[in-house]
Structure 1
Amino acid sequence: MGHEPGSESTVVEVEFEISHPQYLLVELTETTGCTAELVQILPRSHGAYTVFHRVTGTTPESVLEVVEEYDEIDVRVVSSSDDEVIVEFQIGEDGEFFTTSLTDAGAIPTELSSRDGTVRIVAEIPSIHSASDVIAQFQEAYPPVEIVARRQKEYSVPLFHQQELYESVIDLLTPRQHEALLLAYMNGFYEWPRETTGEQLADEMDVTPPTFYEHLRSAERKLLSVIFTK
């Protein structure tokens, strides 16, 4: 049966905290004094993920120095400025990462931030999953995690439908198209006046400006096709 207009879908929102130094984001913010914030999770094939974080208050070199201790995680600096660094983590199917573990358990991470050696995670669990089972699976993977809050929320559109739409859109893009679109969005390319140029973003991707614009236009065209193609 379809979702009736005007009806609501209930989800469980859970807030976690973890401060154990064995975990990357805990060590990163404790060691360097930076703050880290989740930007986006991109599912890949065979259980792998690409996770983008915004890091402020430290240098790209300091980030790379900490992350290189974690063999199961590959890292790349996507862009950097005086104020922030956008970092891409490649998580293999055997790698562990807070957000990917929650996703695999059936939750949808909506917020992740780390400051002063404490990671705060907020995730929403759609009603198609048992909240208790999802929480138990996450706590089994990360025993030191603490539950700070648990509450119910309601959406006029089922949350899992929103997630399915997001994943279907992302599946249309190649990795380079997604990277070009994300770089443009994160660096103010769509603001007015523009905060960065296509040439600067092409340099970040280590491609020529025409190649960057081709990736970006292809990504934009695919996104628009979802909206305007019937």
Structure 2
Amino acid sequence: MTAETSGGLLGHGVHEIDGLANGRFTAYADTTEEVDELVAAVRASDLTESVWETDDHAGDAGVPGSAARGIVVRYDLGNSINDALVSRGFIPDEPVRMQGGRERWTVLVHETRQTVHERLEEIREERNADIDVELITAPENGGGMFRTDALSERQREVYELARRRDYYTWPREVSAASLAAELDISKATLLEHLRKAESKLLGDY
């Protein structure tokens, strides 16, 4: 659905009830009209059994976009990759981000890198899934403190690139100018994205 609309979905968990997957989501976009279009697309999908709206989304702090709506979707378990991940030890650590026809999962797993890749390959074959690994990190000082689900897609892209390129190490391994060139944006724009991302990530601490 997100491939055909301007908005996105945040997935907050899936549970099996009466043989169907029941997932709670936050639909978000820049305008209420775009949220309406996204929810309508979810309702109209052949993959959807039913959709109902929750009273509010007060618990969904930091949702990307200017408009949002909480929904619960019932659908066939076979159309969810959740069980394939969880049954292999992958524990969702943030809301699942769905935008542009892709899903982005942040998970915790207590295995070696080799085992992680082997299990992901099993899921690729079992579910005919297109899975790309963006980043694997080991916890440091407790790890997982800063949740990135409140960031916009662009802020997240810039922030995660900065992390991968060791922008936050001391001394820095890469300059802001180099990161900006890699993303084909100005240095000022990159620093603004990083400033906003850091503000959101540090806002609760």
Structure with the greater relative contact order (CA < 8 A, sep ≥ 6): 1 or 2? 1
Provide the TM-score with structure 2 as the length reference: 0.48
Provide the TM-score with structure 1 as the length reference: 0.44
Structure whose residues are more often strand by fraction: 1
Structure whose residues are more often helix by fraction: 1
